[in-house]
Amino acid sequence: MIAPTETRVPTSSAHPKNFTPLVRQFLDYLKLEKHFSDYTIKSYGADLIQFCQFLSGEIGHANAGNGATPLTNEQVDDKQLKCEPLTIREFLAYLYAQNYTKSTTARKLATLRSFFKFLIRRGQISVNPLSTIRTPKQEKRLPKCLDLEQVQKLLDAPDDTELLGARDKAMLEVLYSSGIRVSELVELEISDLDLQEGILRVRGKGRKDRLTPIGSQAIHALQRYFELRNADGRNQSNPSVRVFLNKHGESLSTRSVRRKLDKYLIEAGLDPGISPHTLRHSFATHLLNNGADLRSVQELLGHQSLSTTQIYTHLTTSRVKQVYDEAHPRANSDTIQHPAHAAQQTPVKPYYPAKAG
């Protein structure tokens, strides 16, 4: 059964020594008050370190690395408090010169917006220097999605007759059956599983828990994995509360999940560019293709905004067109040909207006 929520303390430190006092305070705020994951905090920290290096002249300036006395952390913080829009634009120019993608630049700007909003709330600045800065327009890219046959090939690849293969099969089955993120998968604990009811408790972004169902194939794969795991002597001597463990009986990492997926993609003869997140995209797309409503898919994915989920509706357009063509009585009439079909067969004749008499 699902146990009550417990307080978790991250094992890894999110703060290296080279953070300025203001940046350290901001990251502590993200961790303790916003409950961001260690991975997210690490990404924010990396973006702010780069910005601080730009302010201090270590990067992005003609005199960078010329032996000038480096600024102290306090001096860098003073520059951050006095930062103006022009400085942000110069930083953007530096990112552009370094060939950063629009998506990466947008993420760095989002980090800075959050940081300066934090300083405004603390009363340390009165105006956000990014208030007049526009985020670069993103290219609209549809997520990759596997069809049902490809998913089946991938799920059949692991050999569940031995422990690690059974673990990998259960891992892939859970990812596709529930649509959870890889970071959520590796944090699953045994108390989060209710296999009798077919329910997982998932700790999502911002420590927002949600319940999501899993299918019979995933339940069977988990039962097989636990059967072999309980019979393994290594796990008896060092029991762990985590569901998915590595060969040493320790918690599996997200990077290990990616390595395992890469292995089975090769064995199944599938595109090696597929990521664990592709299974999440496939989960959402297949639900919508089979009649699920968008709001339910949003809840299952743990999306805060419905607009985030709406990207999957673009992937289902071909399916909707197919259903329409098969079901609507006037979709392909024998007497009047569909314009799309007629255009492929009949060349369009140019139109010449009649001359005025």
pLDDT tens per residue, range 24-73: 999 999 999 988 878 889 999 999 999 999 999 888 865 555 556 778 99
**82, 188: one domain:** no
Residue 196 parent element (H or E): none
pLDDT at 323: 62
**Do residues 309 and 214 share a domain?**
yes
The question of whether 277 is a catalytic residue gets the answer yes
- The catalytically annotated residue of 108, 181, 229, 281 is 181
Ramachandran bin of 57, using left for φ above 0, alpha for ψ from -120 to 50, beta for the remaining angles: left
Same domain, 80 and 161: no
Position 293 confidence tier, pLDDT thresholds 50, 70, 90? confident
Q: What's the predicted TM-score (pTM) here?
A: 0.61
Tokens of 206: 């911002």
Co-location of 190 and 277 in the same domain: yes
Residue 11 banded pLDDT, cuts 50, 70, 90? very low
* Phi, psi at 225, each rounded to 5°: -65, -45
312 tagged catalytic: yes
Task: Name the one residue in this structure whose structure tokens are 């009550």.
Answer: 4
Residue 342 has pLDDT above 70, yes or no: no
Q: Tell whether 142 is covered by a domain.
A: no
Active site residue 229: no
DSSP 225-247: HHHHHHT-HHHHHS--SBSSB-T
Total number of domains in the chain: 2
- Catalytic residue at 303? yes
pLDDT confidence tier of residue 185, bands split at 50, 70 and 90: very high
Parent domain of 214: 148-315
Query: b or e along 206-226 (b: 16 or more beta carbons within 10 Å of the residue's beta carbon)?
Result: eeeeeebebeeebbebbebbb
Residue 267 has pLDDT above 90, yes or no: yes
184/253 same-domain check:
yes
The domain boundary residue, chosen from 73, 105, 121: 121
Q: Are residues 113 and 204 in the same domain?
A: no
Q: Which tens digit of pLDDT belongs to each residue from 215-251?
A: 899 999 999 999 999 888 666 656 678 999 988 888 8
Choose, from 176, 225, 264, 312, the residue flagged as catalytic. 312
Residue 181 bears catalytic tag? yes
Over residues 292-309, the mean pLDDT reads 75
Judge contact between 112 and 130, C-beta under 8 A.
yes
- Report, as an integer, the average pLDDT of 97-125: 93
DSSP 3-state of 296: helix
pLDDT on residue 12? 37
- Higher confidence at residue 92 or residue 328? 92
